[in-house]
Chain A
Amino acid sequence: MVQSLFLPLFPSFLFPAIDLLYGGIYCFVCQDYIYDKDMEQIAKEEQRKAWKLQGRAFCFLTENLIQLLKQGIGEKYTTWEPTKRELELLRHNPKRRKITTNCTIGLRGLINLGNTCFMNCIVQALTHTPLLRDFFLSDRHKCEMQSNSCLVCEMSQLFQEFYSGHRSPHIPFRLLHLVWTHARHLAGYEQQDAHEFLIAALDVLHRHCKGDTINDNGKKANNPNHCNCIIDQIFTGGLQSDVTCQVCHGVSTTIDPFWDISLDLPGSSTPFWPLSPGGDGSTVNGESHLSGSTTLTDCLRRFTRPEHLGSSAKIKCGGCHSYQESTKQLTMKKLPIVACFHLKRFEHSAKLRRKITTYVSFPLELDMTPFMASSKESRMNGQYQQTVDVLNNDNKYSLFAVVNHQGTLESGHYTSFIRQHKDQWFKCDDAIITKASIKDVLDSEGYLLFYHKQFLEYEAKGLGTG
């Protein structure tokens, strides 16, 4: 700071000073930092330009400051600031619902409309998906549908209901009506499968999101395969399938989008290898290996193992120009922000129809690195011992919702556990929401497991785009 001693002698007191670190402007006359609207506008603009020049920035995901992903526009996150009018309104309305860690706001029961517990569980999981919550609470859906049968609008309304502070359970009758209207195969008064409902709901939401998709040129994306809607941004991953010819070792690769990973379980009629604990990746996730119980990591290892396709399933090899035996291997090419694992507990084979209740232990924190396509490549290049890089945060996931099924294949009841704040879990049983311990969650059977990426990044943007 310039000493006031110099003021009468040195005319530079007329010029304000600027703090080089934060851009704060100090006025010597006022003897305080000032905030001038025009100056701030300029500063903001310059900052924005500077930000776009940066290739990549890592932003930590904290409970209250979730970074919004804006594809196509590399923009720095700025907190909301109220306008003068808004400030006035807020001053006149001092009663506020502040969301603290011991707060019920954001939690609400759901009335069972008649065998609709499967729907209620999926709604609880979706309304507690942080990115989805932020998208809807910041009013980002711009509806383009003519009629009022937009499921995305209804979803938005659902968030309003959950954050309204109301204690009585919400009646999701409009949601049911809309889902039945847009997903005919689910319409009907009967018990249904929660996983099926999840996929159908995501599909309808994705279709109705067309108005919100913006591609690189700022134009609306009309191509459903290149959609950039919030559903795709959050839930869509890429599954790589490599088929290797046993003769010429040529590899044919395809990448398919997925919203969930369905995992076979031991005890089903599909062959399941009892993988010994301690293999690569299995100790990374800290799952309990009590009495040799199967872990989620075991299931994932099995899912991504090379599978020899027998002589009855020969593939036409492009290199050999003939049908050859081959091996097939699945790996994750691109992980979604929210990864949903579906444990295939319901067996519908020709001879057997039953529910597999084998306990599968799943972790609170999951590292997907060993199952990535890139990891597979390094393994193939000779790096067999995959040391886990603790500083690489790209593939770390946290559990935030678990959907459980009690009963038999034909009939039962769904409940869910959801995470509201960092380590607070709640059990949702239709209209009844109660506090649950982490132990309750991890000891539960598990049917659908929802994991959220821990660290989000801005997409890398080259110069001259956006």
Chain B
Amino acid sequence: MKMEDMPLSGPDNTRLEALVHDIYSELVEDACLGLCFEVHRAVKQGYFFLDETDQESMKEFEIVDQPGVDIFGQVYNQWKNKECECPNCKRLIAASRFAPHLEKCLGMGRNSSRIANRRLATNNNMSKSESDQEDNDDLNDNDWSYGAEKKAKKRKSDKNQNSPRRPKSLKHKNGELGSSVSSEPYKYNYNTGISYETLGPDEVRSLLTTQCGVISEHTKKMCTRSHRCPQHTDEQRRAVRLFLLGPSAPTLPDADAVVESDSFDIPDGQTLMSRLQWEDSPDISPSDSASSKASTNHSDSRRPKKKKRTSLGLNSGVVGGVVGGGGGVVGGGGGGGGGGGGG
């Protein structure tokens, strides 16, 4: 029986199968032909080579999947020195401090207007070089303001008593530093020092860049006054740094730097500070762990997180100065209207 005479369906499905096979083959052939045309055209028109790439480039961009490094094969946390130019003031700012800088630069911060007003007031009485000092001082006000009594008191009266942010954050900062710091931040007491034994090496290093740090024989606590505190000598200050940090201790800022008696130490301290900043945000902020407990108990598991946070914390709230908008924010603007805060 010829193929055409066979029934299409029935017990013997040969013809149907053969037809199906024919159609299938034709479809496959057509698809292949399409591919052939594509390649043929690419070769003829001269762009076939575009699909190739050199071995070197291929290797260069291979994904790395190993512990301790990212997909580029880089070790974590090496980006501390990144800087960027502020679009507003054109200054070079450390990348991880860009947000707080921009806030003040654009005049959006909670204290920006206060700072601006103060600057206007003092500018009338000061010469240019001194007002530049004020400048630096003001811009870093909230981040690492180091309060003298006068300033602390002024801030207290200025700030909104209902703002949930400051007091809580301060409590946390205090909690971190150990119970030895006065829990009443605004009643700054020069006799209250800091117990260096409860601090980690990073915390100590940060502290020493802004404070005298000489350990009192009576109280065994570190002096919290400025580097030019009259009670102690430079010699003593050098000695305590050697003692606490070893031979690699950073040196004190230059003696020629012009500093106001009650203001904060300058550029050197400042750049040192930015180098001590951690790029990444911590996963848990002090508002979780501290809960206003005196944290003399430093368990190891909390250590890493605390390390990350403290440099910020110390900058802002060591001795009763006003705290800047660091991570441990509570309430109000902290998490947005209906959301969760994350940094």
Contact = CB atoms under 8 A, between A and B. Distances in A.
Contacts of A174: 87
A429 B46 CA distance: 43
B99 interface: yes
A188 B74 contact: no
* A98, A117, A190: residue with the most chain B Cβ atoms closer than 10 Å: A190
B220 to A, nearest CB: 34
B314 to A, nearest CB: 16
A180 B95 contact: no
B72 A104 contact: yes
B259 to A, nearest CB: 26
Contact of A118 (B50, B102, B343): B343
A102 B339 contact: no
Interface stretch (A47-55, A66-74, A107-115, A292-300): A107-115
B82 interface: yes
B109 A188 contact: yes
Contacts of A177: 87-88, 102
Contacts of B49: 91
B281 A430 contact: yes
B270 interface: no
A409 B288 CA distance: 10
Q: Give the dominant DSSP class at B's interface.
A: loop
Interface stretch (A191-199, A281-289, A311-319, A390-398): A191-199
Contacts of B326: 115
B54 A96 contact: yes
Interface in B42-69: 44-47, 49-54, 56-58, 60-63, 65
A433 interface: yes
Contacts of B99: 113-116, 176, 189
Contacts of A82: 47, 50
B67 to A, nearest CB: 9
B341 A173 contact: no
Contacts of B61: 97, 103-105, 165
B100 A407 contact: no
B289 to A, nearest CB: 11
B54 to A, nearest CB: 6
A192 B281 contact: no
Given A96-B54, A410-B334, A405 B70 contact: no
Q: Give the dominant DSSP class at A's interface.
A: loop
Interface in A172-210: 173-174, 176-177, 180, 187-196
Contacts of B79: 111, 168-169, 431
A94 interface: yes
A434 B97 CA distance: 25
Interface string A131-149: 0000000000000000000
Nearest to A404: B342
A82 B41 CA distance: 13
Contact of A116 (B84, B339, B343): B343
* B49, B53, B61: residue with the most chain A Cβ atoms closer than 10 Å: B61
A435 B67 CA distance: 10
B98 A413 contact: no
A177 B97 CA distance: 13
Interface in A412-444: 412-414, 426, 429-435
Interface of A: 19, 21-22, 24, 32-35, 81-82, 87, 90-91, 94-98, 100, 102-105, 107, 109, 111-118, 165, 167-169, 171, 173-174, 176-177, 180, 187-196, 344-346, 348, 355, 405-414, 426, 429-435, 447
Interface of B: 30, 33-34, 37, 40-41, 44-47, 49-54, 56-58, 60-63, 65, 70-72, 74, 76, 79, 82, 84, 86-88, 95-100, 102-103, 106, 108-109, 279-285, 287-288, 324-331, 333-343
12 contacts: A19-B33, A104-B61, A104-B63, A111-B279, A113-B98, A114-B100, A168-B82, A177-B87, A177-B88, A188-B103, A405-B342, A411-B288
